[in-house]
Amino acid sequence: MPTADVTLRDAIRAIGAGCYALQARKTANLLARLYNRAVADLGLEMSQASTLFLIAAGQGETVVRAAAQLGVERSTLSRNLAVLARGGLIARGPGGSAGYRLTAAGLAMADKALPRWRAAQELIEARIASSGAPDPRPAMRALRRAAHDARDASPSSLA
């Protein structure tokens, strides 16, 4: 096998271990599955439960603002809002405002989902603590800030 092929293959294999995007995606997928299992018996996905929590906390006045708070695309949030509205869990705010509010059923659902979220959260926290690893959230915030700061980098600076 030519040396160039071996070098390229080694470089590509190194991506699996070192690529921030790949590692973040793999971790996010595993966490999403865990949290989804926690609320599945309620007929929710964790992204929908998180949306209920955000609305309950009064932090999602508009779709744009709520999407930013949840770290999702507006189209993803719009789909989740539609599912929650069809389920009778949320309604438009007073006077047809751009925001949403929880219905009585939505408040009851958020109340049921919260202990399930806590259980998943505590499970992950216990596993991290038993591994001896430091709390990963500061590193994740730093990674998110770095990605945010780099989002407008010119394509030529990335090559």
Domain boundaries, the chain: 3-148
What is the tens place of the pLDDT at every residue in 21-71?
Answer: 999 999 999 999 999 999 999 999 999 999 999 999 986 667 888 888 898
CA distance 132 to 128: 7
Q: Letter for the amino acid at 37?
A: R
Q: How far apart are CA 59 and CA 43, in angstroms?
A: 23
Per-residue pLDDT of 79-92, as tens digits, reads 999 999 999 999 98
Give 6's pLDDT tier (boundaries 50, 70, 90): low
Distance CA 28, CA 38 (A): 15
Give the dihedral sign, CA 45/48/52/54: positive
57: its two tokens: 């906390």
Q: Does domain 3-148 have CATH number 1.10.10.10?
A: yes
- Give strand ranges (E) for the chain: 90-92, 100-102
